Amino acid sequence: MSIADKIKSGDILTMSRLIRDIDDGMPEAEITLQKLFKHSGDSKILGITGLPGAGKSTLTSLLISYYRKQNKRVGVVAVDPTSPFSGGAILGDRIRMQEHNADSDVFIKSVATRGSFGGLSKSVVDIVRIMEAAGKDIIIIETVGVGQDEIDVVRLAGQVLVVTAPGLGDDIQAIKAGILEIADIFVVNKCDLVGAEKAASELKDAAEDNITGDLKPIVMTDSIHIKGIDELTESIDIGFDKFNNDNIKNEYLDRRYRYEIEYKVRDKLTETIRESFENDPVFKDILKAVRDKKMDPYTAVTKIMKNVKLT
């Protein structure tokens, strides 16, 4: 049985090994991903983002339980901060959502940001593809929680939850400039705390859909005492029902795959230019000319783009 066939059968060990090979930049990993591509596009992808301390991981765990009660297979990509020492995720799979670890129909993978912008690790797109090919009905991407740098999640996910909670300082102002506009559903978690109603009220202005004028859902939850989860899951389900419309689904897939292509082209281009500065005498001459003030960086960029060799 091929690696691709093992992935499609849901083999957890093979999935983990392929993800490791992706992180290690193994060429054969991309070949397997090419074979898996035709099996992507049907899973429901839910993004969960918001400020650190808002309770995103606990909320994610409750959503896993909800979907498992519906006999849905669940994948989770938890994007964690990067350790400055090892380069790996500071938080790991084993200390996240431990109650689900023994469930063979739940696959949880923690990945490090490794300096990626947009709140998503470089490998998240490929990990999502693996989970789709393995037949996960819903895939949850929980981002690292760095505020406005998480906007990329909206281009990959079909729906996005923006989670906040009272007691995080001036929480609404802190995220207003960056990610409020990408939300499909707003969640005010830890609603038993003082200030929860105020936080929900402050979100109402941002909750108006710029296109339809409709008010996006604002759901009050308490993930510790399991309050508001039914209302939240109902809002999520209603949101995903929209994808039964082919036009809406195609618009989403266009956005998602464009993001993936742009990301991968940018990554390949960056790698090519970096290697060219190391190995190509033309690039070294351009750098020397800038250093000696014989050329400005703007002209250098134009010359580099003319000389870069894409394969």
Beta bridge partners of 208: 215
Q: For residue 91, is it within any domain?
A: yes
Q: Which helix (H) or strand (E) holds 76?
A: strand 74-80
Task: State pLDDT tens for residues 261-282.
Answer: 988 888 888 889 999 999 999 9
Residues 63 and 153 in one domain: yes
Domain with 208, as residue range(s), is: 41-244
For residues 50 and 57, the answer to whether their CB atoms sit within 8 Å is: no
For residues 153 and 47, the answer to whether their CB atoms sit within 8 Å is: yes
Predicted TM-score of the model (pTM): 0.85
- The enclosing domain of 68 has a CATH number of 3.40.50.300
Residues 196 and 283 in one domain: no
pLDDT of residue 54: 85
Task: Measure Cα distances from 122 to 23, 115, 156, 273, 303 in Å.
Answer: 9, 9, 13, 18, 28
Q: For residue 45, is it within any domain?
A: yes
For residue 75, the one-letter residue type is G
Beta bridge partners of 219: 187
Which two three-digit tokens encode residue 203? 């979100």
Look at residues 42, 34, 115 and name the one whose alpha carbon lies nearest to residue 72. 42
Q: For residue 20, is it within any domain?
A: no
pLDDT of residue 81: 58
Task: State pLDDT tens for residues 115-141.
Answer: 444 445 568 899 999 999 999 999 999
Residues 197 and 49 in one domain: yes
Look at residues 152, 199, 190 and name the one whose alpha carbon lies nearest to residue 56. 190
Q: For residue 90, is it within any domain?
A: yes
Order of strands, sheet of 185-188, starting from the edge strand that comes earlier in the sequence:
106-112, 74-80, 138-142, 44-50, 159-164, 185-188, 218-220
Task: Measure Cα distances from 161 to 45, 51, 113, 181 in Å.
Answer: 11, 12, 20, 11
For residues 115 and 82, the answer to whether their CB atoms sit within 8 Å is: yes
DSSP string, 196-247: HHHHHHHHTTTTB-TTT-PBPPEEE-BTTTTBSHHHHHHHHHHHHHGGGSHH
Q: Which residue's entry shows tokens 């109603």?
A: 197
pLDDT of residue 92: 45
Look at residues 177, 176, 140, 174 and name the one whose alpha carbon lies nearest to residue 160. 140
Secondary structure of 3-69 in HEC code, one letter for each residue: HHHHHHCCCHHHHHHHHHHHHCCCHHHHHHHHHHHHHCCCCEEEEEEECCCCCHHHHHHHHHHHHHH
Q: For residue 123, is it within any domain?
A: yes
Residues 108 and 145 in one domain: yes
pLDDT of residue 101: 76
Q: Is 50 helix (H, G, I), strand (E, B) or coil?
A: strand
pLDDT of residue 119: 40
pLDDT of residue 85: 37
Which residues of the chain register pLDDT less than 70? 81-98, 113-122, 145-151, 168-179, 210, 311
Give the number of domains in the chain. 2
For residues 206 and 180, the answer to whether their CB atoms sit within 8 Å is: yes
Residues 300 and 166 in one domain: no
Half-sphere exposure of 112 (CA within 13 A, CB side): 13
* Orientation angle between helical segments 246-279 and 297-307, nearest 10 degrees: 100
Q: Which residue's entry shows tokens 């990993």?
A: 29
Residues 222 and 270 in one domain: no
Residues 214 and 302 in one domain: no
Residues 206 and 57 in one domain: yes
CA–CA separation, 51 and 129 (whole Å): 27
